[in-house]
Each structure stands twice: as C-alpha cells, then as structure tokens.
C-alpha cells in the first residue's frame, strides 16, 4: 500500500508490509532470549511491529534460553527491556504492554539438551491449538555463532524444521534467521552452510545483515534504476573512483573476546561493506524478486580479483588504535582494553584498494575504509566522477575546485548530496563547489524504519530479497580469505598505530595519495 503524502510534505505512519501484504499468524522463537541482542533490538522491534503495524491475532513469542525463569518472570524482563530501549515516541502504554506480554512464553533449556527441544515442540503445538498460529514458526538465533550448528542440529532432530500440513493440503512454514558472522573463513562458512542444508532448505534460511535493512542501502537500487539521469554515467567512462567508509567513533567496549577473533576485516568488510559494494556496482536485475537481485550481487563478487601476497603491501593497510580523545572523551588504546592481549596484532582499522574486473568497472579503483575509534560514526559512499576533459577557466579561477562528487550517506544523517561547480556572484569568473543536498527526514517528514523492523517483517511474509544467500556468503569469503592469507606473510609492524580520534594511520592516506587522490572524510 503506498504511503499517503500530505500537502505539508509529511507522511502518515509508514507501512512496513510490502504491497499491503499481511503476515500469517506465526510464533517467533528467540534462541538466546536473555542476551543483549534480544533485549536491545529484537524485543523493541517486535513490540513496535505489534503496536504500530498490527500483527495477526495468533502472533506469539517464545523465548528459549538457559536462565531458570517462568512465563511471568520472562514477561517482566521483556517489558523492562522494551521500556528501556524503545524510543520515547514509540513507548507502549500500559494496555499495549499488557497485550504484548500476554503473547510471550518461556522455554528454559540448555542449547544441547534434546528434552528442551521436545519441551519447545510441546509449547509450539499448544500455541497452534490455542492461538491459531497454524504451525508457522520463525526461529531467530540471537546466540553466539559457536552455538549455530548445535541449535540447527537439535531443531532438525526434534522435527521442528519440517513444515506441517494444516487446512487441508496447505502447508505451514518454518524459517530460520541466522546472525552474522557466517563462519570466520571460507572453509567454516561452507561447513556451516552444509549443516544448515541438512536441516533447512535454502528458501527457509534467512541470513541477516542488519545493514541491508537500512533505508538508504535499499534506496541504492531505486536511485540507480528508477532515475534515467544517473545510470548512463554509472561506469568506467565517467567515474574516476569510488570510496566507501564505515567509521565508528567507539572502541571495542566489552567485545574483546569476539573482536580478537574477528578483527575489522571479518567484522565489517566481509559482510556490511561487501553488501554495499555489490548494490552499488551490480547490473540491473531482470526483476525485483530475491534471486534476480542476489544473482547480480554474486556476479560482482566473482569479478573481484583475489589479492596475491605481493598485493598486500601495495593495496591494503591495517591499523590499531592507541590512546586518544574522541568528542572530548579519553579513549584507551586497543591493547589496554579489557580482555585484549597486550601483544595483540588484531587490526581495528582496514583500508583497501579493490578492483572489479568487468566491462562496467574495468580500471576503476574502489577505496574502502573501516575502523574503530575514529572521529565520528558515519557510513558513506562517494562516487567521484572524472574531471571535465578541458577546463576553460584559469587555475586562479578554479582554485580548490574538486570534480563532481555524489555522496550517499547511509548513517547517521541518511541522505544524498551532489557536489558541482557554480560561479561565485560578481564580475570575476571565480568558481566554487556547492552541494545539492537531500535528507530523508526532511523530505518525507518521517524517521526511517529500524533496520531490524524491516528485516523481521520481510521474514514474516517470506521475502528473502534483503537476506544473504549461501553463494553470496561463500563468494565474499573467497575475496576476504585472499586478503587475510596475504597478511600472514607480512611482519607484525604492518599493523600501524593510529591515535584514537584520528582518521587512521598515515599509511592509509598514502594508499590513496599515491594515486593522486584524497580521502573524502565524512
């Protein structure tokens, strides 16, 4: 159902359901329901869906976790989290809280306990009978990735993955949502995919990357394929280079155990950045169905040449933050963070120069940066176009002028800006850069929906377009593994220090400056 535009430019509450589709009654089973992801993201998202985008009458939530608790205790914990983490303008009133709480149930068990899964099956069967959830189930793995294989195996053993018949010949659905990381290298990703495939079909499997739920990321497709002005220029004839930056102003906080294993390349580049890169560079799909879009994304990743050992020093830079100041607050160095080894060589910053070897992008460099403890939190993509073939104006009249730049801001200030040259008013022919700026919030008068809200809603209606397919995961790891393997032959000094609050080590500046270009800092 299209949104209704009001004269003042504001919108009514957006609808989260595509084309007016409404989900069937279902039960959402959250594994690891007492963990941080569930408390901060999943529960507020489900509560918002329940309140602002009415769900079918039978909708229910079952928590599966180790902590001893009954239904009432779980409901109290869940409501505490909802009240703490939901934005003030989305808070549920007391009646809505009671209504949501009555749809919540708790199943206490270890994740490797077969009896626990049988207990879960009994709860789900009871909800089917009493609430009319019709056997439709979404299993959300909000657990550490080390538990994925065990939970999937146990679901299969308990017969909880197979759809069951209801209403005559009609079948119910069973879907599983798996959080990143999807393995830690190509071999482990393939192993996990094989384990999933033994229990769930690929069309039941929803590998979630919350970046794909961001409105600006999705708008990349609309921007490219619904506007005749940009796509003809979207190639090596007109584009000089592309920059993608994912900057985080925080350090690793309490995530040392995870981060020591992953580093910046596994944490950000293999998933988030690869997805943004694919949407930016893919060919037009034949349609907007899930597989057509994902087919084109895979083609892009297959066109990225693997990095050889000799490429590592020339086209990659690793960094690790030292003590500094960010937004007026002191930040300890990475090696001083709790849980980090004092001799750790884990990278908290990566800069890369990649190429896509196909007809559209031949010889166009893609400069990628991501890091912790940088000056601000920002995700942006900059398309820099080539200079005009012959500048008619004198150098004195174009001092400081840069080539045309298109910047797509994914977060926090969602929007798009186009930089172009304009004549400064007056008799002289001096030129200056100006920005034509578009902001989602200002243009539509509405906040973009939360990424998890969009993705969970899509899973409920069975749309896998924004989720990651098996071959996407493996093809992405193929590229990232080549970089990691190239690093194995480099000395420890190749991980360069950079002060917290800076934009990274000087070596990252040299990476792009050696090509006669500059980073476009947010």
Helix axes 94-101, 43-52, angle to 10 degrees: 110
Q: Which domains does the chain have, with CATH numbers?
A: 18-179 (3.40.50.720), 212-513 (3.30.360.10)
Angle value at C-alpha 475, between 473 and 480, nearest 5 degrees = 90
Tokens linked to 50: 């329940």
Dihedral (CA of 63, 65, 71, 74) sign:
negative
- Residues with a catalytic annotation lie at 272
Distance from C-alpha of 14 to C-alpha of 17, rounded to nearest angstrom: 9
pLDDT at 165: 57
Query: Going residue by residue through the chain (522 aa), what tens digit of pLDDT does each one get?
Result: 333 333 333 343 455 556 667 788 999 999 999 999 999 999 999 988 887 777 778 899 999 999 999 999 999 999 999 999 888 777 888 888 898 999 999 999 999 999 999 999 999 999 999 999 999 999 999 999 999 999 999 999 999 998 865 444 458 999 999 998 899 999 999 999 999 999 999 999 999 998 888 888 888 888 999 999 999 999 999 999 999 999 999 999 888 988 999 999 999 999 999 999 999 999 999 988 899 999 999 999 999 999 988 888 899 999 999 999 999 999 999 999 999 999 999 999 999 999 999 999 999 999 999 999 999 999 999 999 998 887 777 777 778 778 889 999 988 888 999 988 787 887 677 877 888 998 888 887 766 677 888 899 999 999 999 999 999 999 999 999 999 999 988 887 799 999 999 999 999 999 999 999 999 998
How many angstroms separate the most distant Cα atoms in the chain?
84
pLDDT at 7: 35
354 close to 476: Cβ distance less than 8 angstroms: no
pLDDT at 307: 92
pLDDT at 56: 78
Distance from C-alpha of 277 to C-alpha of 369, rounded to nearest angstrom: 12
Residue 382, beta-bridge partner list: 243, 407
What is the arrangement of strands in the sheet containing 495-499, beginning at the earlier edge strand? 431-439, 415-423, 405-411, 378-385, 239-247, 366-371, 349-354, 316-322, 495-499
pLDDT at 484: 94
Q: Using CB atoms within 10 A of its CB, is residue 272 exposed (0-12), middle (13-18) or buried (19+)? A: buried
Tell me the three state secondary structure of residue 205.
strand
Helix axes 451-461, 43-52, angle to 10 degrees: 70
297 close to 238: Cβ distance less than 8 angstroms: no
Residue 82, beta-bridge partner list: none
Residue 431, beta-bridge partner list: 423
pLDDT at 414: 87
């Amino acid at each position: 159902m299209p949104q209704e535009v009001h004269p003042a430019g504001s919108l009514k509450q957006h609808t989260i359901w595509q084309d007016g589709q409404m989900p069937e009654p279902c039960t959402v089973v959250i594994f690891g329901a007492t963990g941080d992801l569930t408390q901060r993201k999943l529960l507020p998202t489900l509560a918002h869906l329940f309140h602002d985008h009415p769900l079918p009458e039978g909708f229910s939530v079952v928590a599966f976790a180790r902590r001893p608790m009954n239904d009432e205790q779980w409901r109290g914990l869940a409501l505490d989290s909802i009240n703490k983490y939901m934005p003030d303008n989305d808070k549920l009133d007391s009646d809505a809280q009671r209504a949501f709480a009555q749809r919540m149930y708790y199943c206490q068990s270890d994740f490797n306990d077969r009896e626990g899964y049988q207990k879960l099956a009994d709860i789900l069967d009871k909800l089917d009978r009493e609430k009319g959830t019709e056997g439709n189930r979404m299993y959300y793995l909000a657990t550490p990735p080390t538990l994925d294989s065990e939970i999937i195996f146990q679901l299969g053993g308990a017969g909880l993955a197979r759809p069951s018949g209801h209403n005559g010949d009609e079948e119910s659905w069973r879907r599983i949502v798996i959080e990143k990381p999807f393995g830690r290298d190509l071999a482990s990703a393939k192993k996990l995919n094989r384990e999933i495939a033994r229990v769930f079909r690929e069309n039941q499997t929803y590998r979630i990357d919350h970046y794909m739920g961001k409105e600006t990321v999705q708008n990349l497709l609309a921007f490219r394929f619904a506007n005749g002005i940009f796509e003809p220029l979207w190639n090596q004839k007109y584009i000089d280079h592309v920059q993608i930056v994912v900057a985080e102003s925080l350090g690793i906080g309490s995530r040392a155990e995870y981060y020591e294993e992953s580093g910046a390349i596994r944490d950000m580049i293999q998933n988030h950045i690869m997805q943004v890169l694919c949407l930016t560079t893919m060919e037009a799909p034949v349609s907007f169905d899930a597989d057509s879009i994902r087919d084109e994304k895979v083609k892009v990743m297959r066109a990225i040449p693997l990095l050889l050992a000799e490429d590592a020093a020339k086209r990659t830079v690793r960094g690790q933050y030292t003590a500094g100041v960010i937004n007026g607050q002191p930040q300890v160095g990475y090696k001083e963070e709790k849980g980090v080894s004092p001799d750790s060589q884990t990278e908290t910053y990566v800069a890369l120069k990649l190429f896509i070897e196909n007809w559209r992008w031949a010889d166009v460099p893609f400069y990628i940066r991501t890091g912790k403890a940088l000056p601000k939190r920002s995700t942006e993509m900059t398309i820099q176009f080539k200079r005009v073939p012959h500048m008619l104006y004198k150098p004195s009249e174009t001092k400081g002028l840069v080539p045309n730049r298109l910047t797509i801001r994914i977060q926090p200030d969602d929007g798009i800006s186009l930089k172009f040259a304009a004549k400064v008013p007056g008799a002289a022919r001096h030129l200056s850069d100006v920005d034509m700026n578009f902001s989602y919030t200002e243009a539509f008068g509405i906040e973009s929906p939360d990424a998890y809200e969009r993705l969970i809603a899509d899973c409920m209606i069975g749309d896998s377009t924004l989720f990651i397919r098996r071959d996407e995961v493996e093809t992405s790891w193929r590229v990232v593994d080549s970089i990691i393997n190239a690093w194995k032959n480099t000395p420890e000094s190749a991980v360069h220090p950079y002060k917290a609050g800076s934009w990274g080590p000087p070596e990252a500046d040299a990476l792009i400056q050696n090509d006669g270009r500059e980073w476009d800092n947010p």
